[in-house]
Chains A and B, each alone.
Chain A
Amino acid sequence: MTRTQLIGLLSTIFLFVAIYFIFSFAEIEMTMLEVQKIFYFHISAAITVFLAFGVTCIFSILYLIKRGDTYDTIALVSTEIGIVFGVVVFTTGPIWARFAWNTWWNWEPRLTSALILWLTYIGYLILRSALAEEKKRIYSAVLGIIGFLNVPIVYFSVELWQGGLHPGTATKMNLPATMQTAWLISWLALTLLYLFLLMFRYRAEQMKLELGTIQYRQMNES
């Protein structure tokens, strides 16, 4: 069994364990009842979004310094996965918001920063598809860094812009022990899933490059 398969298996197991913990172990919240269960995957996915784009930023810097194609590939696949997790956040978010605050969208600082970051990195992918092969690595690395630099500024601006404390921010920190456990397990499960997807996509990207080389060689021979 390869490392990728092992992590894939682990993440699958953890996802099922997380679902068990969410629905059987964690107590039911008083005001929101079952709807509150969205919280576990919503927050975990949001953390993974920031993690994924953070990885993109770090590997973009590494690419500019060391110029290894590996770094660029990791930055690319991490962005792609971050965007997928973003979709999870922005579908579960409104459902949560509808029941928690009686509105489909809330300008919560973390949610808003995630949205802006998400849009920035969609731009990153569009840019990559619009550039020629030799240029896109450097340019997208530059954008990968600039996009992430924006995060703290966006976060502080949105926090002040929407006017102070957010009711959810305080309550999330003092969860009952059972909820805490369920949340930790779902967070671990999604992080493992991220890692698995990263390795899987990385391998696919590498195969694509290898295939390109083989095709090129055959074309030269014939």
Chain B
Amino acid sequence: MGVFRQIGWLIHKDLALQFRTKEMLALIIVFSVVVVLIFCFAFGPIFPEKLEERGKLAASVLWGTFLFAGIITLNRSFDIERANGALHGLRLTGVDASYFYLSKVVSIFVFLILLEVIVTPIALQFLDVLTILPVALQKELPWLLLKLIGVLAIGTLGFCAVGVIVSGISTNTDGTESLLSVILLPLTFPVIMAGAKCTVSLLTTGGLEGNFWISILIVYGLIFLASSSLLFEFVVEG
């Protein structure tokens, strides 16, 4: 079987498992909305007047929410592989570890992007960001949202690249969930910094001021995709 067909089937398997019961998606969406609401209640009902301040608030809410949602998704995804030795069964078919890694990254990425597409407009509305945007930006709102999702997507890819390998490791321990957070969060600090800066700049000016932050996001994603797909072999073997 060709490389792409193998990866394709693995992704198909993961997505089928994730979407067969809608319960998981519903759970994560509700969780994310609740997290957004927590921020709203803590900061609201009158949000900062200045656009930049409100942009920063929106960026922290969005990235914080998706980080926590991402951790839950990762945990859940590896629980399935762990139960009944599914991972060992998969290994017996002779699938290369790096294909398995890439397919996991893609399937979790797809799931999180879907979540972000649904939750981002809700969060922006709750934080009342849309009404105070400059007129020029309000006119091309769909385009702005698309760019915002684009930035979130690049950041999410980096997060998945690290998250999959770390949860592959932590799924073998007892304190899985708390351990995953403790190990994964310090590794994702650059994503938060760069992603939040890009988000603020998009919300205030409609563009990315300089390409530095978006390059950091891309470089981070590439470095960890490459290194982790090489290292994942040891994780599966262990």
A122, B179: Cα distance in complex, Å: 11
Residue with the greatest number of chain A CB neighbours at <10 A, chosen from B162, B169, B182, B197: B169
Chain A nearest CB from B207 CB (Å) reads: 17
Q: Quick check: is A126 within 8 A (CB to CB) of the other chain?
A: yes
Question: A138 contacts B227, CB within 8 Å?
Answer: no
A147, B227: Cα distance in complex, Å: 11
Q: Which stretch from A149-157, A165-173, A185-193, A209-217 is at the chain B interface?
A: A149-157
Which residues on B are within 8 Å of A, measured CB to CB? Answer: 162, 165-166, 169-170, 172-175, 179, 182-183, 186-187, 189-190, 193-194, 197, 212-213, 216, 219-220, 223-224, 227-228, 231, 234-235, 237-238
* CB neighbours of A149 from chain B (8 A): 223-224, 227
* CB neighbours of A9 from chain B (8 A): none
Question: B231 contacts A153, CB within 8 Å?
Answer: no
* CB neighbours of B223 from chain A (8 A): 149, 153
A108, B190: Cα distance in complex, Å: 15
Residue with the greatest number of chain B CB neighbours at <10 A, chosen from A124, A126, A132: A126
Chain A nearest CB from B180 CB (Å) reads: 10
- Given A146-B224, A150-B187, also A161-B193 (CB < 8 A): yes
* CB neighbours of B173 from chain A (8 A): 127, 130-131
Chain A nearest CB from B223 CB (Å) reads: 6
Which residues on A are within 8 Å of B, measured CB to CB? Answer: 64, 116, 119-120, 122-124, 126-127, 130-132, 135, 138-139, 141-143, 145-147, 149-150, 153-154, 156-158, 160-161
Question: B190 contacts A150, CB within 8 Å?
Answer: yes
Known contacts A138-B234, A142-B165; 5 additional CB pairs below 8 A are: A64-B231, A116-B186, A126-B182, A126-B183, A143-B166
A99, B212: Cα distance in complex, Å: 33
* CB neighbours of B189 from chain A (8 A): 116, 154, 157
Chain B nearest CB from A186 CB (Å) reads: 29
Chain A nearest CB from B184 CB (Å) reads: 8
A64, B172: Cα distance in complex, Å: 19
* CB neighbours of B190 from chain A (8 A): 150, 153-154, 157
